[in-house]
């Protein structure tokens, strides 16, 4: 299993507010790269296309209120993966957020996908921070 971790980002919002945001896939499009197309989402699941690469689908498998959201891949995703959003309260008005992807990649896919997956978790964490900075 290959693991990709974002830097921890200090979010200027309470962990419960950030948790509510990342617990609803209808908000996730704001965290994704601009290249994503065919975004479809409801509260618990989403599907989208990475042009020239793959169609992916995910669903929320479990949540720990105010602390984490565990997301797993679904068909038609060509690779099995899971994505976790971890939150840690820091004072009443701030929290740290980290996004982690673990994916089952063969050696060839690992060479091709490692940099894009690292960039993805970093971008998602950056967009999450920016979302809460811009909404204040």
- Tell me how far apart the alpha carbons of residues 131 and 67 are, in angstroms, rounded to a whole number: 18
In this structure, what are the phi and psi dihedrals at residue 40, rounded to the nearest 5 degrees? Answer: -135, 130
- Tell me how far apart the alpha carbons of residues 89 and 13 are, in angstroms, rounded to a whole number: 9
Categorize the per-residue pLDDT at 48 as very low, low, confident or very high, splitting at 50, 70 and 90.
very high
Angle at 80 between CA 75 and CA 82, to 5 degrees: 105
Q: Which two tokens stand for residue 123?
A: 């971008």
Q: Which two tokens stand for residue 41?
A: 């989402």
Categorize the per-residue pLDDT at 78 as very low, low, confident or very high, splitting at 50, 70 and 90.
confident
pTM over the 0.75 mark: yes
* Region 64-79 average pLDDT: 93
Q: Please indicate whether residue 45 or residue 135 has the higher confidence score (pLDDT).
A: 45
Q: What is the dihedral of CA 52, 128, 101, 120, to 10 degrees?
A: 30
The structural domains of the chain, ordered by start, are: 2-134 (3.30.530.20)
Pairing relationship of beta strands 54-64 and 2-5 according to DSSP bridges: unpaired
In this structure, what are the phi and psi dihedrals at residue 56, rounded to the nearest 5 degrees? Answer: -125, 150
- Tell me how far apart the alpha carbons of residues 12 and 61 are, in angstroms, rounded to a whole number: 26
* Region 35-48 average pLDDT: 96
Q: Which two tokens stand for residue 5?
A: 């971790």
């Amino acid at each position: 299993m290959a693991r990709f971790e974002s830097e921890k980002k200090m979010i200027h919002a309470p962990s419960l507010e950030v948790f509510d945001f990342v617990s609803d896939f209808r908000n996730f499009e704001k965290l994704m790269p601009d290249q994503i197309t065919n975004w479809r989402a409801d509260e618990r699941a989403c599907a989208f296309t990475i042009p020239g690469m793959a169609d992916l689908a995910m669903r929320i498998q479990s949540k720990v209120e105010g602390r984490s959201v565990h997301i797993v891949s679904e068909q038609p995703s060509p690779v099995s993966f899971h994505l976790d959003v971890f939150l840690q309260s820091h004072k009443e008005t701030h929290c740290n957020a980290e996004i982690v992807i673990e994916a089952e990649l063969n050696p060839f896919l690992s060479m091709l996908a490692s940099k894009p997956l690292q960039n993805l978790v970093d971008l998602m964490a950056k967009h999450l921070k920016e979302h809460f900075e811009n909404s204040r």
